[in-house]
Amino acid sequence: MSIPLQRRSMAALAVLAGLTLGAAAQNPAPSADETSAEHDARMQWWREAKFGMFIHWGVYAVPAGEWAERKNHGEWIRETAKIPMDVYAGFLDEFNPVQYNPEQWVLAAKGAGMKYIVITSKHHDGFCLWPSKLTDYDIESTPYKRDLLGPLKEACDKHGMKLGFYYSIMDWHHPNYPPRGWEKDRPREQIDMEKYVVYMKGQLKELIESYDPVVLWFDGEWDAWTKQQGADLYAYVRSLKPDIIVNNRVGKRTRELGDFGTPEQSIPSRGMPGWDWETCMTMNNHWGWNKADKGWKSADSLVERLVDIVSKGGNFLLNVGPKPDGTFPDEALERLADIGTWTSRNGEAIYGTTANPVGPVSWGRVTAKKGAEESRLYLHVMKRPADGALLLPGLRNTVKGARLLHGGHKLEARSGDMGLTVTLPEDVVQPPVTVAELSIEGAPKVVKPAIQPDDDGVLTAPAALAEIRAPDRVSPPQISGEGDNAYVSHWHAPSASVTWPIEVKQPGVYEVAVVVSAEQEGAYMDVGVDYTSVQTQTSVPDTGDYNTYTTVHVGPLNLSYPGRLTLSVTPRAEGWTPVNIRRVILTPTFGAMDGGDS
């Protein structure tokens, strides 16, 4: 392995540095083989690119999703229609993409504003789109015979498009990979994963040496694959090409292995803080070509998804499933062109930006380019408020100017008690998403409004306003749902905690209660503020399921001074079992001063 083995100490420094970093997709080095700076350099083009094209193509395009009575198959058709191997091999005889023109593909991607392409070099069916020396189950066994990946790579190079490969770990064809459960006729005796791993490594070496891909996008790892095998494969492909970027399905989709997370067909509601990630999504309801599938997403909604993802610090990998003749479906081409109209006007608000540094806004999404001297915030307006006031809550910077990104129309911006407001007149709205560019002095400074006591002096800290704290490489708890129904979930790591800014107006003793659920009894936690805390006296009970909440009375907490404090809930490591939390309630035991009855 050619990568220098150094640093543990740098990793520790990165942990410290991480505490002061904002919402940018700052990642710790993924393993001991590179520094944080080296990791950042490797990830840089990918973090700036934001938008890529996924291509699912293979011999499964031949049946076009149709088999027997059903028309809803896709690239899984061999499995979902239970097609025996010799029958499936018939698709190879029919796969002849004579219309294949990779330059047109690349231009369609580029026209949409995409910066990279990831194509299925081999999907679960095991069929290879390039002439592999290690199998005959490849393009050479079709009437077309010629390499599909080489010409695509050439077209990408010609037009400044980056190219990466999807490669399925699961392989329904290879004799050393376990046959499907329903395949009674295939021998199981000869299965030898070690031999299969040699095959995979050989193929990945071919792909890297022949086409120099920038990304490897593994999949099909859930079936017969271990974390250890993943770690070994990750190290192997990085040894062949040290700056290659690898998704987390090389392992078991955790944060421990691989360079980015891979939500599929979904956008995490608060992004994946502290991690690089990419949502992959279909334009209709299938990855591989399905001619009956008319469930196309609108171009407008695809633009909104791109904006949503980028505002949360992720990339968008949008899929096209080409037809067996080598052309893109018309519906896909139309959508790519329409998305391109928007990205060509508003690309500055997408490429090279970082996640929303301000916090959620009711009218749309925010992206940013932050600098110490000056920063730009891009206000992506999806629902213009009736009065046109685009509030950035808690933002305290001095305004340098504001304008529409496309067209340059000047906009008014002013600071107020609630934060900074840009006004968007009704007659300049540009569907599907209007972008206003706000320039401010310095890096964004946000003072989150602290939770205020109600008329009875009660402080209620809801999950919707919680901030999550977790060490690097630890999967943080997630906030789901909206408003009073929001909850913190997936709290597997006892090293993670949940905090809120609160304003104490009346010093004194407060009774602490938490509204929680758990599917196992046993968790204890501390509830406290900056200088004092109280621990749950009894453990959180099993509430039956995570949707059933109960109030646990924690005990008294003496808040001796008025002012802004950080309320936190911190697990006790021993006996920890994941707890969902809806809210924390601090009730004064002394009667409120301005609540009336004291």
Q: How far is the CB of 166 from ligand H79 (least distance, A)?
A: 7
Considering beta carbons, is residue 287 or 500 the nearer one to ligand H79?
Answer: 287
* SS3 (DSSP) at 162: strand
DSSP string, 128-149: BSS--TT-SSBGGGSSS-S-SH
Considering beta carbons, is residue 167 or 491 the nearer one to ligand H79?
Answer: 167
Considering beta carbons, is residue 170 or 464 the nearer one to ligand H79?
Answer: 170
Near ligand H79 in 376-405, by CB under 6 A: none
CB–CB of 332/283 below 8 Å? yes
* SS3 (DSSP) at 461: strand
List the structure tokens of 343.
């990205």
By the rule CB under 6 A, 129 interacts with ligand H79: no
What letter does residue 397 receive in the DSSP assignment? Answer: P
For 161, what's the count of Cα atoms within 13 Å in the CB-facing half-sphere?
Answer: 31
Near ligand H79 in 295-354, by CB under 6 A: none
Residue showing the smallest CB distance to ligand H79 in the complex: 76
Hunting for tokens 């015979």 — which residue is that? Answer: 145
Q: How far is the CB of 80 from ligand H79 (least distance, A)?
A: 5
Whole-number Å distance between alpha carbons of 404 and 423: 11
Q: How far is the CB of 331 from ligand H79 (least distance, A)?
A: 19
Considering beta carbons, is residue 264 or 331 the nearer one to ligand H79?
Answer: 264
Count of chain residues binding ligand H79 (CB under 6 A): 8
What letter does residue 450 receive in the DSSP assignment? Answer: P
Q: How far is the CB of 263 from ligand H79 (least distance, A)?
A: 11
CB–CB of 271/492 below 8 Å? no
CB–CB of 59/92 below 8 Å? yes
DSSP string, 177-213: SPPPTT--SS--TT--HHHHHHHHHHHHHHHHHHH--
Query: Which listed residue (33, 38, 75, 437) binds ligand H79 by CB under 6 A?
Result: 75
By the rule CB under 6 A, 80 interacts with ligand H79: yes
Considering beta carbons, is residue 14 or 281 the nearer one to ligand H79?
Answer: 281
Considering beta carbons, is residue 79 or 511 the nearer one to ligand H79?
Answer: 79
Q: How far is the CB of 75 from ligand H79 (least distance, A)?
A: 5
Which of 315, 119, 105, 135 lies closest to 217 in space, CA to CA? 119
Q: How far is the CB of 286 from ligand H79 (least distance, A)?
A: 9
Question: Which one of 73-81, 193-201, 394-402, 444-452 is the stretch in contact with ligand H79 (CB under 6 A)?
Answer: 73-81
CB–CB of 558/532 below 8 Å? yes
Q: How far is the CB of 137 from ligand H79 (least distance, A)?
A: 18
Q: How far is the CB of 222 from ligand H79 (least distance, A)?
A: 8
By the rule CB under 6 A, 67 interacts with ligand H79: no
Which of 333, 315, 334 lies closest to 51 in space, CA to CA? 315
Considering beta carbons, is residue 76 or 236 the nearer one to ligand H79?
Answer: 76
Q: How far is the CB of 52 from ligand H79 (least distance, A)?
A: 13
Whole-number Å distance between alpha carbons of 482 and 109: 35
Q: Which residues pair with 318 in a beta bridge?
A: 53, 281
Considering beta carbons, is residue 75 or 276 the nearer one to ligand H79?
Answer: 75
List the structure tokens of 387.
């009065």
Query: Which listed residue (46, 60, 167, 287) binds ligand H79 by CB under 6 A?
Result: 287
Burial (0-12, 13-18, 19+ Cβ within 10 Å), 177: buried
Q: How far is the CB of 289 from ligand H79 (least distance, A)?
A: 13
Q: How far is the CB of 219 from ligand H79 (least distance, A)?
A: 5
Considering beta carbons, is residue 80 or 506 the nearer one to ligand H79?
Answer: 80
Q: How far is the CB of 45 from ligand H79 (least distance, A)?
A: 22
Considering beta carbons, is residue 318 or 381 the nearer one to ligand H79?
Answer: 318
Q: How far is the CB of 322 from ligand H79 (least distance, A)?
A: 14
Query: Which listed residue (125, 219, 304, 308) binds ligand H79 by CB under 6 A?
Result: 219
Considering beta carbons, is residue 56 or 469 the nearer one to ligand H79?
Answer: 56
Considering beta carbons, is residue 73 or 323 the nearer one to ligand H79?
Answer: 73
By the rule CB under 6 A, 280 interacts with ligand H79: yes
CB–CB of 102/188 below 8 Å? no
Question: Which one of 75-83, 130-138, 440-448, 588-596 is the stretch in contact with ligand H79 (CB under 6 A)?
Answer: 75-83
Considering beta carbons, is residue 123 or 365 the nearer one to ligand H79?
Answer: 123
Quick note: the x/- pattern for ligand H79 over 241-270, rule CB under 6 A, is -----------------------x------
CB–CB of 66/288 below 8 Å? no
**How would you list the strands of the sheet with 412-416, edge to edge?**
389-393, 419-423, 412-416
Burial (0-12, 13-18, 19+ Cβ within 10 Å), 150: middle
Near ligand H79 in 25-64, by CB under 6 A: 56
List the structure tokens of 315.
């990339």
Considering beta carbons, is residue 128 or 585 the nearer one to ligand H79?
Answer: 128
Whole-number Å distance between alpha carbons of 482 and 476: 19
* SS3 (DSSP) at 439: strand
What letter does residue 250 receive in the DSSP assignment? Answer: G
Considering beta carbons, is residue 73 or 376 the nearer one to ligand H79?
Answer: 73
By the rule CB under 6 A, 76 interacts with ligand H79: yes
DSSP string, 264-325: BS---TT--TTS-BEEEE-SSS-SS--TT---PPPHHHHHHHHHHHHHTT-EEEEEE---TT
Quick note: the x/- pattern for ligand H79 over 179-218, rule CB under 6 A, is ----------------------------------------
Question: Which one of 72-80, 388-396, 421-429, 459-467 is the stretch in contact with ligand H79 (CB under 6 A)?
Answer: 72-80
Whole-number Å distance between alpha carbons of 472 and 294: 42
| H or E element that contains 341 | helix 330-346
Question: Which one of 10-18, 74-82, 372-380, 486-494 is the stretch in contact with ligand H79 (CB under 6 A)?
Answer: 74-82
CB–CB of 127/92 below 8 Å? yes
Contact residues for ligand H79 (CB under 6 A)?
56, 75-76, 80, 219, 264, 280, 287
